Amino acid sequence: MKKRDKRKSPSGRNLALTIILGVFIAIMIITLFNLIVTYFYEEPKYEDYCTNYENTQYPMKYNYGWDICTNCSFSKELQAQVDNCSKEGGISTYTYNEKGCAIELKECNFCNKEFDSAIKEYTKNTFFIYAAIGFALIVIGLFVNLLLIQIILLPAGAFLVIEASLRNFDDKLYIIITFSLLIIAAVLLALKRLR
């Protein structure tokens, strides 16, 4: 009878410990990559885009009684300017008279639109970062022979790829195409490795 090589087939207890340790380390790796990405590539902040934004976007000024503001006259021209500003994605700010009534459009502020564009660009870029890191971890995990390293890298990589798609869920067609390509590449690599 041949002796079993303990390095090739771990006992039940060692296998369970290897799996538990692998999952724990995989979670730490996922957390580490999240921290690294958010540290070096910060999410846009609303204050960076809307610093000079005045909170005077209402046709009547605050701290004026209704008895004064009810005497405000409706301006078709002002309403057309406000509607046009809204259609373009801006927020109207007004110039007020002494009664607290809006008399003209002071500014059509596009800070929200600029902030939304910056957030969309950020989520698209983080999608690529997480997908690339996750896919690299999956590839490395497929070609490493140590069970512990496989248990660490494969789920960590898969989770980062899934997280990439969840972070950029607004651009569905873009994600579907990229995610499909990643899945095909991972399956082809796995089949090549398992032959």
**Predicted pLDDT of residue 98:** 77
Query: d(Cα 189, Cα 191) in Å, to the nearest integer?
Result: 5
| Total count of domains within the chain | 2
Give residue 28's pLDDT: 94
Write down which residue in 91, 109, 127 finishes a domain.
109
Structure tokens, 140: 């490395």
> Residue 51's domain spans which residues?
47-109
**72 shares a domain with 126:** no
pLDDT score at 6: 47
Cα-based distances in Å from 10 to 17, 20, 26, 132: 10, 14, 20, 32
DSSP letter (8 states) at residue 4: P
Structure token pair of residue 177: 């195409």
The CA distance from 44 to 120, in Å, is 10
What's residue 71's pLDDT?
65
**According to the model, what pLDDT value does residue 70 have?**
58
Q: What is the pLDDT of residue 59?
A: 53
Whether the model clears a pTM of 0.85, i.e. scores above it, the answer is no
Query: Containing H/E element for 31?
Result: helix 12-40
For strands 91-96 and 102-109, give the pairing.
antiparallel
Residues 161 and 174 in one domain: yes
- What per-residue confidence (pLDDT) applies to 134? 92
In a domain, 27, yes or no: yes
The set of residues, in sequence order, having a beta carbon less than 8 Å from that of 75 and lying 6+ positions away, is 102, 103
Query: Among 109, 132, 148, where does a domain finish?
Result: 109
Q: Which residues of the chain have pLDDT under 70?
A: 1-10, 52-71
Give 44-100 pLDDT, tens digit per residue. Answer: 998 888 876 554 445 555 445 545 555 677 778 888 888 888 888 888 888 887 777
Whether residue 124 sits in one domain with residue 34: yes
Domain membership of residue 156 (yes or no) is yes
